[in-house]
Structure formats: C-alpha cells, structure tokens
C-alpha cells in the first residue's frame, strides 16, 4: 500500500497558517532572547501535542459539517476519571488509561447518535453534553487533586536530554494516523464526501450517519487522550483543565484551514495551527500577560481565524470554479 502524502497536502488550506507561523516565530525569536532558548523550545514542544490532538478531533467533526463544543469538558472529564482510578501498579495504570478512553468513546457515541438519529443541530446537543460532562467532572473531582502515576507520566513525557521525545513521537504517530485515515480508508473519503455535500453522499450510497458518528467518536477519543496527557503533565487532575481547550481546539482547527462548513481541511494544517496556538500561549507567558488579557486577545484571535478561513474558502471556490 502506497501512502501518498500528496492528497493530504492538496486537501487543506494550510499555506496561510504556515506563512503566519513562520513570520510569528521569526518575530518572536528576534524580539525575545528567552523565546530562542533551547529550554523554551522544549517547553513549547510539550504544549503542542494536546492542542494538536484536540484540534484534530474537532477538525474531523468539522470536516463532516458539524461542530463539537463539548471538547473542553471531555478533556477535563478524562483527566478526572484517570486521576481517580490510577495507582502505581501496572494493572491500575492500564485501567486508568483504558477507562477514560472508553468514556470518550461513549460520549462520542452519544453526541453522534443524537445528532444523526434525531437530526438536531450539533452545537445545541454538544452544548447539553458539555454541561452534563462538566457536572459529572465536578461530581468526580470537585477540587484539583487525585493521583496520576509518575511512571505513566515519565513514559508520556519522555525526554531525551532536552528533546521532549514522548510528545513529539505521539504527535507524529497521530498525525500520520489521521492522514492515513483521511486519505487511504473508505471512511476517510466518506468524511470529505459527507462534509462536501451530504445529500449527494447519501444518494451515492454512503451511510452518512455512520460516518458522522465515527467522526464524533474519534473526536471524543482524541479529547480523552488530551485529558490523559494533561493529567500526566500536571501529575493531578483539575476540573478546569479542559476549559481553555474549547476555544483553543476550535482555533487550531479553523486556523489549520478546516472549513466550518465541512469538506475541507487536512491534518497537516492542524499541526501548523497547533504550533501557532502553542507559540501564542508561550508568548503570553514570556511577556507575562495575565490570564485575563489572554482571554481578551483569544477572543479576537478566534474571530480572525474564522475570517481567515472564510477568505481561504472563498478563494478556493473561485479557483475550483475557474478550473471547471
């Protein structure tokens, strides 16, 4: 089986994000000596993976034309579940990894099933799921605490000297996996088909419900992974750990060239989006912006991301029209 990266490269509007990213990083490196330091790069690299994985999940849902706004709550829930189960023995670590993942799959099935079976607007159903999961998280873990095994954290965040090998390798594995799923498997092709034109896909014999449910399940699974990662990074579970991921996940996906109306986007763009959002957070920390200024700026960045994606989409449609 030949895996062509070409398709993945052609399907997204990621040139914009990489251009902005390069300019942004050059700008930061010139302006700030502490940004250039190796230690900061390594710190930055550990922040990219959770943003990437959540943005990737969100981009799967957005490719089918939906949206999932329960992603943040899912991240918190997964960390909370893991922190309750995980001990020091191998079996309890395994259980602590598997249970949040199963929880993620169940949440994805719930979202996907309700959206497809009852034809309800995705944003309102996932808003309901978000509140439901927030309640569940607070029920499990009211205050930050719990225990995430040190051994598990060491594996996930494995560092070779200054190089954070663990997060980088996971990033590459999941990026590759996503490219293969979207480019080489029938369900991946169907995701693009459903997002491009659902009615046409249905008439062509695609089981649109199954495709959408698959996207929601994958999204929730990825959010659960991000929750485990964040838990491992902090060695405990905070019920608010996932809160920023709602905005960040959507920003990563839209900035990476995923269209809000479905059918366009590629994991390669999402990686660029994740690196950009991680560097933005890094910049905030280096410049010592407080959390609240960050909130204000992030609101603007979200709207700009969407405007950027609109521009790209309209240009893309123009080009494809000209080609026809």
Q: Which stretches of the chain bind another protein, using CB under 8 A?
A: 67, 69, 114, 118-121, 123-125, 127-139, 142, 246-247, 250, 260, 290-300, 302-303, 306-307, 310
The dihedral through the CA atoms of 5, 11, 16, 21 has a sign that is: negative
Rounded distance between C-alpha atoms, residue 4 and residue 124, angstroms: 38
Angle between helices 208-234 and 165-184 (to 10 degrees): 180
Least distance CB 132 / another protein (angstroms): 3
Least distance CB 27 / another protein (angstroms): 23
Least distance CB 45 / another protein (angstroms): 26
Angle between helices 243-255 and 267-286 (to 10 degrees): 130
Least distance CB 71 / another protein (angstroms): 12
Of the pair 24, 123, the CB lying nearest another protein is at 123
Of the pair 84, 180, the CB lying nearest another protein is at 84
User: Which residues, including other chains, have CB under 8 Å from residue 26's CB and lie 6 or more apart?
Assistant: none
What is the CA 58 to chain-centroid distance, rounded? Answer: 6
Name the token pair of 64: 């089918």
Least distance CB 6 / another protein (angstroms): 31
Of the pair 72, 164, the CB lying nearest another protein is at 72
- C-alpha distance from residue 313 to each of 22, 196, 215, 263 (Å): 22, 12, 22, 11
CB atoms within 10 A of CB 179: 21
Of the pair 79, 179, the CB lying nearest another protein is at 79
Contact 118, 209 (CB under 8 A): no
Of the pair 124, 169, the CB lying nearest another protein is at 124
Residue 93 CA neighbour count, 13 Å, CB half? 13
Least distance CB 114 / another protein (angstroms): 6
DSSP 65: T
111 CB-contact burial (10 Å; exposed 0-12 / middle 13-18 / buried 19+): buried
Name the token pair of 190: 């169907």
Least distance CB 137 / another protein (angstroms): 8
CB atoms within 10 A of CB 9: 15
Of the pair 27, 261, the CB lying nearest another protein is at 261
Of the pair 10, 240, the CB lying nearest another protein is at 240
Least distance CB 298 / another protein (angstroms): 6
Of the pair 190, 309, the CB lying nearest another protein is at 309
């Amino acid at each position: 089986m030949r895996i062509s990266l070409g398709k993945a490269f052609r399907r997204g509007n990621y040139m914009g994000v990489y251009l902005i990213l390069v300019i942004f990083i050059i700008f930061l490196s010139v302006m700030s000596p502490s940004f250039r330091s190796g230690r900061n790069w390594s710190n930055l690299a550990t922040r990219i993976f959770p943003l990437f994985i959540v943005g990737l999940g969100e981009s799967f849902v957005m490719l089918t034309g939906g949206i999932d706004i329960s992603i943040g709550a899912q991240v918190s829930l997964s960390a909370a579940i893991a922190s309750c189960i995980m001990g020091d023995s191998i079996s309890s670590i395994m259980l602590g990894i598997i249970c949040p993942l199963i929880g993620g799959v169940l949440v994805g099935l719930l979202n996907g099933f309700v959206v497809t079976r009852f034809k309800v607007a995705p944003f309102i159903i996932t808003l309901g799921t978000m509140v439901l999961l927030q309640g569940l998280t607070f029920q499990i873990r009211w205050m930050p605490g719990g225990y995430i095994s040190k051994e598990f954290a060491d594996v996930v965040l494995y560092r070779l000297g200054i190089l954070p090998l663990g997060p980088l390798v996971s990033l590459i594995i999941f990026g590759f996996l996503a490219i293969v799923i979207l480019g080489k498997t029938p369900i991946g092709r169907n995701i693009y088909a459903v997002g491009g034109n659902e009615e046409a896909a249905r008439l062509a014999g695609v089981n649109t419900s199954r495709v959408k449910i698959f996207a929601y399940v994958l999204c929730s699974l990825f959010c659960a992974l991000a929750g485990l990662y964040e838990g491992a990074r902090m060695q405990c579970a905070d019920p608010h750990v996932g809160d920023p991921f709602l905005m960040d996940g959507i920003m990563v996906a839209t900035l990476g060239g995923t269209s809000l109306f479905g059918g366009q986007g590629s994991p390669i763009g999402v990686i660029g989006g994740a690196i950009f959002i991680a560097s933005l957070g890094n910049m905030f920390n280096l410049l010592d912006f407080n959390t609240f200024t960050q909130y204000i700026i992030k609101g603007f960045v979200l709207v700009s991301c969407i405007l950027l994606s609109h521009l790209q989409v309209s240009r893309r449609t123009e080009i494809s029209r000209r080609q026809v």
